[in-house]
Amino acid sequence: MRSVWKGVISFGLVSIPVRLYSATQERDIAFHQVRRSDGSRVRYRRVAEADGDEVNYADIAKGFELPDGQTVVLTDEDFANLPLSTSRAIDVLEFVPLEQVDPIYFAKSYYVEPDRTGAKPYVLLRDALAESGRVALVKIALRQREQLATLRVRDGVFVLETMIWPDEVREPDFPFLGEHVEVRPQELAMAASLIDTLAADFDPGRFTDGYRTALQSVIDAKIAGQAPVSPPVSPPEEPVGDLMAALRASIAAARRDHPDSAGADGAGADGAGVDGSPAGKAIADGAASEAGSTKAGAAKAGAAKAGAAKAAPPKGTAGTATAKSKAASTRSATPTRRSA
């Protein structure tokens, strides 16, 4: 790894010389823009808008455009004269609980390595910070921009997580936030059951980039002069209109894919609670309500049939026996809806 920054951790009156290294790297497959007909590279030139002349990189400066269209030109000397106290220091401001730092603030991660002369104070601060259960809130200047950051311990090494400033976080302003959306208790309980079914310990090693693997297969096939092989694609599932039915189907599918979690929350295979937990009771109540509506409808239909039978004239003993036989057959053929 190549260091991207060199300076010191300023901790009170203690200075620890360190270097920063990028802790992550992109694994995306890189492409060039080329002409479709022959693969020739497409190049871009830096040209001045005023006359179209090409501009060398050494002659390029930064410009700030004013509201009237005029431009203020800032050179490297202008930036060098700015009072940036953290240009070569990681300035420790305070120590805070990590759970109080919203992850939306985090931007990029860097490993922090001590110089040989700073190994002892580095280890001292590392061990003390690990025992405290907190992270250090610091300031650092990277690429001529001062940033907030956190300093925490991972695998025996300090990790610097740069952060954005609070005024750079956008407010979520969406219409649905002002609307009243009613969620039934049994729907909430069913969603909680789905969450419990999919609950697991975080293990990033279990996941891979399927798109990148498929793209690499296409490139390899092109190199070998073979026809690219398309990976199998699962047929899209039809959306379920009823929310409770969709939740039940989701739980059933989750339990097929995660058999170890089946029954962990005391729910049946179709998501109905069979224990005394609030979630199970709410699910059972919702299912019982649906089943009750179905039974009530069946009872009304049975009463109507009975009334029609009474109104019909008697047809003798054989007819009565036949009618009773048909009624018994009808009752036995009527499906009983169980609580879901």
Q: Digits of tens for pLDDT over the chain (340 positions)?
A: 899 999 999 988 899 999 999 999 888 888 999 999 999 999 999 999 999 999 999 999 999 999 999 999 998 888 877 777 667 899 999 999 999 999 999 999 999 999 999 999 999 999 999 999 999 999 998 887 899 999 999 999 999 999 999 999 999 999 999 999 999 999 999 899 888 888 888 888 888 888 888 888 888 888 888 776 666 666 666 665 677 788 788 888 888 777 665 444 444 434 444 444 444 555 555 555 544 444 444 444 455 444 544 444 444 444 444 444 444 444 444 444 433 3
Q: What is the pTM of this model?
A: 0.65
Only one residue has tokens 């002892």, namely 120
Greatest alpha-carbon span in the chain: 115
Under a CB-based contact definition with an 8 Å cutoff, are residues 198 and 258 in contact?
yes
CA dist., res. 18 & res. 271, Å (int): 55
Q: What angle do CA 330, 331, 333 make, to 5 degrees?
A: 65
